[in-house]
């Protein structure tokens, strides 16, 4: 396919595809899907080999958020039956992080719900960063605390933070449809503050909120313009008790096309499969590793993820390897010069608070309303491929904020 050959050539040269080319990837047929994955996989392997970076989330403060993000189980007015607790102490957070690091994670993502941190909150998180760094040599720490005020990114950097996450989530034109308590411009401003402070910017999107192909391309091109080092791709988890609880628009094939489009637009950037992969990609998760070079290990903020051991087995079975702390994730031209090292272009970083995984903790489903099941030859019910997998959405009841061992 001429389109795919062109996109591979551009990806290897770090050239920006046209909007038409990006839209064409999303419009490819199921018959062409493996060709799309193979093409984007060439770009992924060129820049990142067969390495998979593992990231681990620690939810420092769960629920009780004053923002009204429609996708989020921690939002103002949420009826979702999630864990609610205030700030973990530095030693509690460090203990939680240790579980993920023992499982092979090289980055810990410290997340707190809320509009943005107070200066006292920055002090708390700074103490936590120092505790984690003192006990774990070579670990990367990313903070995700919401909208930043002047000087806060610099303070986090001084405390030892390596990165800051704040997602754009969706296109500027549709942002007001999902959130009214802050603006798209507020999010852009926070990503720029992280850049200016010398932090590695992390910013991504949430797919599955009813957006159009044009909206997806708009937000990914906006991310490229912002030039983050990592781009988490979340797939909406419609949590009961949130306004988007009935929004199940994704299929495994749709998710793969979205990841491929992101890889072509952001060829040399850490593309991370974030919240919702288990619910929407399901048995197609190994194919997604040919597109993304980074995943979260274990659970998310408020929902459960795949068992940590299953994650590691999936990576090995698919012929990939876990990236160690002795390896630099980004290609030399990005790792050496930080963000903004594209030749004249950039690749763009999440909701009010969370590190590459929307606060709903999960994923958006897979089927239009009314999709049903059919009977198998043995009389048992067989799920249709486009049927929502609500059974795969489980609220997190272990790990941070509980007395139970984490999933890592």
Residues carrying an active site annotation: 65, 69, 72, 109, 142, 202, 272
Q: State the Cα–Cα distance between residues 178 and 175, nearest whole angstrom.
A: 6
Q: How far apart are CA 233 and CA 207, in angstroms?
A: 7
Cα separations in angstroms, 289 against 220, 248, 274, 378? 19, 23, 12, 34
Q: Which two tokens stand for residue 331?
A: 């290609």
């Amino acid at each position: 396919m001429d389109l795919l050959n062109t996109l591979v050539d551009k990806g290897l040269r770090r050239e920006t595809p046209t909007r038409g080319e990006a839209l064409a990837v999303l419009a490819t047929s199921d018959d062409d899907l493996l060709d799309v994955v193979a093409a984007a996989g060439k770009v992924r392997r060129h820049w990142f080999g067969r390495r998979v970076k593992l990231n681990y989330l620690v939810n420092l403060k769960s629920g009780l958020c004053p923002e009204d993000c429609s996708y989020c189980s921690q939002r103002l007015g949420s009826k979702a039956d999630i864990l609610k607790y205030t700030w973990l102490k530095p030693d509690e957070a460090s203990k939680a992080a240790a579980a993920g690091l023992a499982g092979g994670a090289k980055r810990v993502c410290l997340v707190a719900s809320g509009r943005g941190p107070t200066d006292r909150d920055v002090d708390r998180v700074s103490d936590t960063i120092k505790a984690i760094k003192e006990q774990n040599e070579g670990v990367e720490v990313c903070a995700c605390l919401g909208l930043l005020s002047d000087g806060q990114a610099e303070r986090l950097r001084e405390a030892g933070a390596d990165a800051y996450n704040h997602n754009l989530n969706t296109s500027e034109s549709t942002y007001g449809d999902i959130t009214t308590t802050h603006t798209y411009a507020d999010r852009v401003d926070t990503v720029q503050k992280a850049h200016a402070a010398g932090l590695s910017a992390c910013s991504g999107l949430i797919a599955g909120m009813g957006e159009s192909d044009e909206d997806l391309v708009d937000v990914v091109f906006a991310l490229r313009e912002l030039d983050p080092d990592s781009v988490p791709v979340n797939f909406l988890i419609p949590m009961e008790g949130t306004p988007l609880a009935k929004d199940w628009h994704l299929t495994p094939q749709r998710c793969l096309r979205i990841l491929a489009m992101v890889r072509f637009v952001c060829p040399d950037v850490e593309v991370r499969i974030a919240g919702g992969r288990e619910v929407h990609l399901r048995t197609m998760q190994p194919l997604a590793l040919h597109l993304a070079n980074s995943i979260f290990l274990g659970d998310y903020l408020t929902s459960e993820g795949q068992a940590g051991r299953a994650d590691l087995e999936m990576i090995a079975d698919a012929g990939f390897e876990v990236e160690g702390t002795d390896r630099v994730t980004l290609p030399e031209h990005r790792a050496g010069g930080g963000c903004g090292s594209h030749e004249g272009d950039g690749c763009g970083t999440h909701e009010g608070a969370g590190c590459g995984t929307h606060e709903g903790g999960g994923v958006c489903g897979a089927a239009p309303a009314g999709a049903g099941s059919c009977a198998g030859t043995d009389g048992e019910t067989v799920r249709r491929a486009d049927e929502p997998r609500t059974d795969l959405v489980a609220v997190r009841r272990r790990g941070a904020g509980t007395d139970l061992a984490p999933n890592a």
